[in-house]
Amino acid sequence: MKAVRVHAYGGPEILRLDELPMPTPGPGQVVAKVAAAGVNFIDTQLRSGLYKRSPPPFSLGLEGAGTIEDIGADVAGFRVGDRVGWIQAPGSYATHALLPSERLVPLPDAITFADAAAALFQGATAHYLAHATYALGPGKTCLVHSAAGGVGLLLCQMARNLGARIIATVSTEAKAALAGAAGAHEAVVTSQGDFLAAVKRLTDGAGVDVVYDAVGRDTFERNLDCLKPRGCCAIYGEASGTVPPFDLRELGSHGSLFLTRAGLNHYTATREEFLARTGDVLRWLAEGRLRLRVERNYPLEEAAEAHRAIESRATSGKLLLLP
């Protein structure tokens, strides 16, 4: 088998496509032939060493879809030949992946491997943000940063389906059109003006109920000024860098705000919650309630190019690796 691996932390150029022995599944594990792997921003942060979950060398990729080829002991509900998707299972940038069965979700016949790999990680992220971190509904207004990215486009669609008002931030007019098509009521092009001033203008000074933010350092302070009293700033990524040390008294002076650094692992911690979120995403996709945008497919050999593309922040939607 072949796998894209990190042998030392660094830039995209350090990624290597290695030849490895075929894994043997242990108890509770399966080996799947990977048909498609999702590229997510967190992959670049694991590669760079911003997040150090495993010492090098290690294989990249937390999301994929394919067919089970081998099963270990104590695996219930799956068999060889099943079509499955997965998230939070390292090693998906590969021809084959050794996976914990608890991170697998069966794929409906209507869902292709590419669609599953494009939807599961970012769709489950959007799901917990809109339904749990701060539950949206009619009468609520949200600010969605990076609204033309993979999570952003899905989050806009879910927020619209829940009846919320959506103010989106994007970097270009073209991305504003994408956010609008995904359900955003207003799109703020940040290269043309400050998003805080736009939020105040669009809400008649009231602010929004919640900010969903994967940018981090560059937007943090203005996020707090965008919120209504008792509003919520939900950070789920750090594309611009980590937020510096912060005096919690600022939350009080801004109106008794709530602040959270959310993560998908804590919102899919049980098998039941994992299946509920991923099941909703796949069902809504099959029903046409969610639409995907895949910007580009890459072979495994071009994983570094995929990382350069996603780090440029010029992409819209999803990038995939197709072994």
Residue 298 lies in a domain: yes
Task: Among 210, 227, 261, give the residue marking a domain's end.
Answer: 261
Same domain as 24, residue 93 = yes
Same domain as 187, residue 102 = no
H/E/C letters for each residue in the chain?
A: CEEEEECCCCCHHHEEEEECCCCCCCCCEEEEEEEEEEECHHHHHHHHCCCCCCCCCEECCCEEEEEEEEECCCCCCCCCCCEEEEECCCCCCECEEEEEHHHEEECCCCCCHHHHHHHHHHHHHHHHHHHHHCCCCCCCEEEECCCCEHHHHHHHHHHHHCCCEEEEEECCHHHHHHHHHCCCCEEEEHHHCCHHHHHHHHCCCCCEEEEEECCCCCCHHHHHHHEEEEEEEEECCCCCCCCCCCCCHHHHHCCCCEEEECCHHHHCCCHHHHHHHHHHHHHHHHHCCCCCCEEEEECHHHHHHHHHHHHCCCCCEEEEECC
Residue 109 lies in a domain: yes
Same domain as 59, residue 13 = yes
Predicted pLDDT at 254: 96
Same domain as 144, residue 116 = no
> pLDDT by residue for the chain (323 residues), tens digit each?
999 999 999 999 999 999 999 999 999 999 999 999 999 999 999 999 998 888 999 999 999 999 999 999 999 999 999 999 999 999 999 999 999 999 999 999 999 999 999 999 999 999 999 999 999 999 999 999 999 999 999 999 999 999 999 999 999 999 999 999 999 999 999 999 999 999 999 999 999 999 999 999 999 999 999 999 999 999 999 989 999 999 999 999 999 999 999 999 999 999 999 999 999 999 999 999 999 999 999 999 999 999 999 998 778 889 999 99
Single out the residue of 10, 142, 117 nearest to residue 61, CA to CA: 117
Same domain as 165, residue 76 = no
Task: Among 221, 242, 261, give the residue marking a domain's end.
Answer: 261
Same domain as 22, residue 83 = yes
Predicted pLDDT at 317: 86
Residue 15 lies in a domain: yes
Same domain as 148, residue 84 = no
Residue 130 lies in a domain: no
Same domain as 213, residue 163 = yes
Upper half-sphere CA count for residue 179 (Cβ side, 13 Å): 28
Task: Among 225, 241, 261, give the residue marking a domain's end.
Answer: 261
Residue 94 lies in a domain: yes
Same domain as 249, residue 152 = yes
Q: Tell me the C-alpha distance between 87 and 94, whole Å.
A: 14
Same domain as 152, residue 256 = yes
What range defines the domain where residue 145 resides? 138-261
Predicted pLDDT at 316: 86
Task: Supply the CATH number for residue 214's domain.
Answer: 3.40.50.720
Predicted pLDDT at 19: 97
Residue 178 lies in a domain: yes
Same domain as 256, residue 146 = yes
Predicted pLDDT at 170: 97
What's the number of domains the chain is made of? Answer: 2
pTM of the model: 0.94
Residue 125 lies in a domain: no
Residue 129 lies in a domain: no
Task: Supply the CATH number for residue 115's domain.
Answer: 3.90.180.10
Same domain as 275, residue 178 = no
Q: Tell me the C-alpha distance between 303 and 216, whole Å.
A: 25
